[in-house]
A and B are shown apart, each in its own frame.
Chain A
Amino acid sequence: MLDTAEGYVTEDGRKIGGVVMEMKNITLRFGGVVAIQDISFDIRQGEIRAIIGPNGAGKSSMLNVISGFYNPQEGEVWYQGAKRPAMKPYEVAQQGIARTFQNIALFEGMSVLDNVMTGRIRQMSAGMVAQAIWKGKAEREEIKNREAVEKVIDFLEIQSIRKTPVGRLPYGLKKRVELARALAAEPSILLLDEPMAGMNVEEKEDMSRFILDVNDEFGTTIALIEHDMGVVMDLSDRVVVMDYGKKIGDGSPDEVRGNQAVIDAYLGVAHD
């Protein structure tokens, strides 16, 4: 078992710290449907943690629990060494947890720049009147935030679409803009819900590169859900496998790959 307090060093020399978030015996029900059943796992500082599983396994529900969108009926979420009370998503965001969505939730009519700027909402404090007059504090704030946003735009190489309305962009780029918006919030934990869904090979490679770069450059902890096994196994440090709301595996990509329960869940077994 891993030590809770101390971290470990990955093969490529990245230092993974202690546990920052821990799920303890989470159970989530929708009426009679049990979406998540008694699941526990942890996320460590600086690691890339994947949650995988077949369709309907409860992966997105799990991510929604982390982001505060669902509050589980049973179990506890521990964040930075303290138990987290039931929270609204915006409160979770204020704690430094940002996310992207499976089915892209951007403002289609707004430019890429404006969309990414909305990620900075947490860093803005000027009042509505000040914002409207746009002098003094509001102006200074905007300049500061714009600078941060431009660094993200530069980082994700989307300079050429800065002023383009999001609605006109192809799918792969929209995904990147969503990542940009999440990054603009300077999160300590980044949740990615199927960042590569629907992408072609080249777009997947680009996205993988960016995820690794984000983790490497900013030391951001990343939890991601992904279907593409190749991508997951290459990217992540540790993988949680879910099936029918239950955890059936947890460990390094190699451990998970050799786990019989996981193989059965993915390849299917004959039911007698």
Chain B
Amino acid sequence: MNQSLEAAEGLGSVPALLQRNATRFGGKPAYREKEYGIWQSWTWAETAAEIEALALGLINLGVNEGDFIAVIGRNRPYFYWAIVAAQSVGAVPVPLYQDASADEMAYVMEHCGARFAIVQDQEQVDKIIEIQDGLHQFEHMIYIDPRGMRKYDHHKLHEFSHIQQQGRAARDEFITDLQARRGKLNYDSICVMLYTSGTTGKPKGVVLSNRNIIEASKSSSGFDTLGPGEEVLAYLPMAWVGDFIFSIGQAYWCGFCVNCPESPETMMTDLREIGPTYYFAPPRVFETQLTNVMIRMEDAGRFKKWLFDRFMAHARKVGPAVLDGKSVGVWDRLKYMLGNILVYGPLKNTLGLSRVRVGYTAGEAIGPEIFEFYRSLGINLKQLYGQTEASVFITLQPDGEVRNDTVGVPAPGVELRIAENGEVFYRSPGTFEYYYKNETSTKDTKDTEGWVATGDAGFIDEDTGHLRIIDRAKDVGKMASGALFAPKYVENKLKFFPNILEAVVFGAGREECVAFINIDLTAVGNWAERNNIGYASYQELAGHPQVLKAIRAHVDEVNRSVAQDPMLSGCQIHRFVVLHKELDADDGEMTRTRKVRRRIVEEKYSDLLSALYDGLDEIFTTTEVTYEDGRKGAISATLKIVDAAVLPVPEHKVAAE
């Protein structure tokens, strides 16, 4: 069996993979980070030395096997080293979202009982000092950036580089201990604990073993033939399972290089400089990039605009076929080649996607136009479906079988099952061990045979064998008439319009559907500028009559498209309101991964919701907002309620039993 084979090779843990890479790829870069304007790099051998020094320093500091170490910061090599160093000494790394509020952080740190934390800078140190009194197990904090830290009490606070120095100095003393601890690690030992953002309730600590991570990395790398030559850009939150798999699991399995941007703001420039070969981005990123391209093309000269429009039309026609290696006429192929020289190539280069061999998107549905746009340029963008509990991979789209409305075939080693109620279940070597200190949830999610409930409703497409996801299983409901209600389906259609950033549709148990809508400030703002519409704030723009008119046109169009689907035609939107503020994670309306928390939005804006159903023309409302630093304020506005055109629902109600 594969597992015993790995164990025999001694590759039963991430630190073991590090040792292998240090020998096999010793002189090859493992990490790069742009700092002081140039790319600094570390080879695998150097990385192993850095991690060893840190691990020895951690032993010196008193880290025991089984301790939890919180890791809080943006993607930097130091944090990846911290994770592997923690594993090496037998501790459990717990990466946390660095933009989490103090309360959220306090909950998680208390829940796992972290004794140590490795953090980015003063901001994080302050945050932890604030919550420290409530954390009875917490002891030491290690920070990377010493700026502004001179005056702090350093009894229990240490600089990262000092810990490494102490580790190097104490090498003789602790190296046997470190080797022994590393030697004890195997497939069953805990690799990492990741907290799920939790669209409902408190976050849960998902415990993933070395088996989960390494098996998932191995099979997915095989699926896309990833090798040591790949380049990835690590820019997604380290607390998210995707980054853990891409930047640690697969990177250590394949031995490829992880590149860290200089700062979150320089990410696009850094992307261009690195030119990754393997790239993951949530749909939102692709959407923003496309919006930017379109805005810039609107401002371009007439000839350039003409050239762009003409060749993009051709790309949409034949691009995906060229990419999938299907037969395309000679003339079309020549024209595509010309387009590649004039438009597609330079555009891909500007986007930083010239070298992308395998690109993935996941997390939310991606708009068909956005998806097609990238694929028609010749970028091999695919979709995958996964979750933290599965070590990411549940289904993947194979090369040449990419479709917009499915999420692909089961990943290697994954078994799928669709339950009676439509909920998707899976079982795989990547399936998580348990939720930390939460037996009830573990039992609810994972049955004795290892099947895990995804919480998503979907079905397997009969023609292709691909999985298609409709919505969250618990969100799929019935309307008063008995018709099927799948809010996400309609929301996604709305969000595919560049002007609409976010939409929340309500209608379960009701006669009609209504919606809250957030406009996209970049797209609508640019439109306003070009049409000489002045506005002073998001709120003012959102309430502008012409904006409402434009949004109404979008809603009408969505209604027309929804009406086509016999199962879901009841979900047409009768009335909507454009919200006076953006839904925000700081206000608890979204998760940190920017998924809408439906219940909270429903409660918070209950006055708007009843106004929508009462048929009022407008409503005055006041909403509490939380600023980034935790202070609170309130904004109020009078919102117009807009009626949309609804098509008659056909009589043959499928879902009405």
- A159 contacts across to B, CB distance below 8 A: 37, 262-263, 265-266
Task: Give the distance to chain B from A218, nearest Cβ to Cβ, in Å.
Answer: 11
**Binary contact track B138-164/A, C-beta < 8 Å → 1, others 0:** 000000000110110000000000000
Binary interface encoding of chain A residues 129-166 relative to chain B, with 1 for a CB under 8 A from any of its CBs, else 0? 00000000000000000110011011101011011000
Q: Which residues of A contact B150 (CB under 8 A)?
A: 216
- The reply on A74 being an interface residue by CB < 8 A is no
| Interface positions of A from 199 to 229, Cβ below 8 Å from B | 213, 216-217
On whether A13 and B151 interact (CB within 8 A), knowing A159-B266, A160-B263, the answer reads yes
Contact present for A160 and B266 (CB under 8 Å): yes
Tell me the complex Cα distance, A113–B37, Å. Answer: 10
Chain A neighbourhood of B36, CB < 8 A: 147, 150-151, 153-154
Closest Cβ of chain A: how far from B577's Cβ, in Å?
29
Q: Are A162 and B263 in contact (CB under 8 A)?
A: no
| Chain B neighbourhood of A6, CB < 8 A | none
B3 within 8 A of A: no
Find B265's partner among A13, A153, A160 (CB 8 Å cutoff). Answer: A160
* Chain B, residue nearest A149 (CB): B37
Tell me the minimal C-beta distance from A221 to chain B in angstroms.
17
CA distance A155 to B266 in the complex (A): 15
Does B103 count as interface, using CB distance less than 8 angstroms? no
Say whether A12 faces chain B, with CB atoms less than 8 Å apart.
Answer: yes
Bound: A153/B35 CA distance, A: 10
Contact residue range for chain B? Answer: 10 to 19
How far does the Cβ of B613 sit from chain A's closest Cβ, in whole Å? 39
Contact residues in A for B37 (Cβ distance below 8 Å): 113, 146, 150, 153, 159, 162
User: In whole angstroms, how far apart are the Cα atoms of A151 and B36 in the complex?
Assistant: 6
> Which of A113, A150, A213 makes the CB contact (< 8 A) with B147?
A213
Per-residue interface assignment for chain B, residues 401 to 416, with 1 indicating a CB less than 8 Å from any chain A CB and 0 otherwise: 0000000000000000
How long is the Cα–Cα vector from A155 to B148 in the complex, in angstroms?
11
B23 at the interface (CB under 8 A from A): no
CA distance A24 to B356 in the complex (A): 67
B269 close to A (CB within 8 Å) = yes
B residues near A155, Cβ cutoff 8 Å? 147
CA distance A213 to B263 in the complex (A): 19
Closest to B37 in A: A150
Once bound together, how far apart are the Cα atoms of A157 and B266, in whole Å? Answer: 11
Q: Which chain B residue lies CB-closest to A146? A: B37
Residues of A within 8 A of B263 (CB): 157, 159-160
What's the nearest-Cβ distance from chain B to residue A69, in Å? 33
Chain B stretch 269-290: residues in CB contact (< 8 A) with chain A: 269
Chain A residue contacts of B151, Cβ below 8 A: 12-13, 216
**Cβ proximity bits A148-192 to B, threshold 8 Å, 1 near / 0 not:** 001101110101101100000000000000000000000000000
Chain B: minimal CB distance from A178 (Å) = 20
A237-251 toward B: CB 8 Å interface, digit per residue (1/0)? 000000000000000
Give Cα A13 to B152, complex, Å: 11
Within the complex, the shortest CB–CB distance from B149 to chain A, in Å, comes to 10
Closest to B269 in A: A160
Chain A residue at minimal CB-CB distance from B35: A154
Task: Name which of A113, A146, A159, A162 has the most chain B CB atoms within 10 A of its CB.
Answer: A159
Collect the chain A residues with CB atoms within 8 Å of residue B265's CB: 159-160
Shortest beta-carbon distance from B34 to chain A in Å: 8
> A154 to chain B: which residues have CB within 8 Å?
35-36
Cα-based distance from A151 to B147 in the complex (angstroms): 12
Output the nearest chain A residue to B268 by Cβ-Cβ distance. A160
- CB-CB under 8 A from A153, the residues of chain B are 36-37
Report the minimal beta-carbon distance from B529 to chain A, rounded to whole angstroms.
16
Q: Hey, what's the 0/1 contact readout for B5-49 against A, CB within 8 Å counting as 1? A: 000000000000000000000000000000111000000000000
Q: Report the Cα distance A113→B36, complex, angstroms.
A: 12
**Distance between Cα atoms of A155 and B145 in the complex (Å):** 11
What's the nearest-Cβ distance from chain B to residue A131, in Å? 20
Whole-angstrom distance from the CB of B651 to the nearest CB of chain A? 57
Q: How far is the CB of B266 from chain A (nearest CB, A)?
A: 5
Residues of chain A within 8 A of B266, CB atoms compared: 159-160
With a CB–CB cut-off of 8 A, which chain B residues contact A162? 37
Shortest Cβ distance from residue A213 to the other chain B in the assembled complex, whole angstroms: 6
A216 touches B148 (CB 8 A): yes
Contacts of A151 in B (CB 8 A): 36
Give Cα A154–Cα B147 distance, bound, in whole angstroms.
11
Cα–Cα, bound, A155→B121 (Å): 13
Smallest CB gap from B265: residue in A: A160
Chain A residues within an 8 Å CB radius of B262: 159-160
Once the chains are docked, how many angstroms separate the CA of A250 from the CA of B39? 49
A154 to B36, CA, bound (A): 7
B296 → A minimal CB distance (Å): 14
> Which residue on chain B has the smallest CB distance to residue A113?
B37
In Å, the complex CA distance between A267 and B625 comes to 35
Interface residues of A in 1-20 (CB under 8 A from B): 12-13
- Max count, chain A CB within 10 A of own CB: residue among B36, B151, B265, B269: B36
Measured between beta carbons, the chain B residues less than 8 angstroms from A113 are 37
CB distance from B144 to the nearest CB of A (A): 13
Q: Are B148 and A213 in contact (CB under 8 A)?
A: yes
Complex Cα gap A157–B263 (Å): 9
Residues of B within 8 A of A13 (CB): 151
Complex CA distance for A146 and B37, rounded to whole angstroms: 9
CA distance A155 to B35 in the complex (A): 11
Give the nearest-CB partner of A161 in chain B. B265
Q: Tell me the smallest distance from the CB of B654 to a CB of chain A, in Å.
A: 52
The minimal Cβ–Cβ distance linking A140 to chain B, given in whole angstroms, is 16
Nearest to A150 among chain B residues (CB) is: B36
- Determine how close the nearest CB of chain A comes to the CB of B150; give it in whole angstroms: 7
| CB nearest to B145 among chain A residues | A154
Interface string of A4-44 (1 = CB under 8 A from B): 00000000110000000000000000000000000000000
Q: How far is the CA of A216 from the CA of B149 in the complex (A)?
A: 10
Nearest-neighbor residue (CB-CB) of B628 within chain A? A202
Q: How far is B266's CA from A257's CA once the two chains are assembled, in angstroms?
A: 43
Q: How far is it, in angstroms, between the C-alpha of A13 and the C-alpha of B148 when the chains are bound?
A: 13
State in angstroms the CA–CA spacing of A217 and B151 once bound together. 11
Closest to B262 in A: A159
Residue of B at shortest CB range from A213? B148
Interface string of B443-486 (1 = CB under 8 A from A): 00000000000000000000000000000000000000000000
In angstroms, Cα B36 to Cα A159, docked, is 8
User: CA separation between A48 and B37, bound complex, in Å?
Assistant: 31
Q: Closest approach, in angstroms, between the C-beta of B231 and any C-beta of chain A?
A: 21
Q: How far is the CA of A153 from the CA of B265 in the complex (A)?
A: 14
Residues on A with C-beta less than 8 A from B148 are: 213, 216-217
The complex places the Cα of A154 from the Cα of B262 at a distance, in Å, of 9
20 pairs from A and B in contact (CB 8 Å cutoff): A113-B37, A147-B36, A150-B37, A151-B36, A153-B36, A153-B37, A154-B35, A154-B36, A155-B147, A159-B262, A159-B263, A159-B265, A160-B263, A160-B265, A160-B266, A163-B269, A213-B148, A216-B151, A217-B147, A217-B148
Other A-B pairs beyond A151-B36, A159-B262, 4, CB < 8 Å? A154-B36, A159-B37, A216-B148, A216-B151
In the A-B complex, the 6 residue pairs with the closest CB atoms: A160-B265, A150-B36, A160-B266, A150-B37, A159-B262, A159-B263
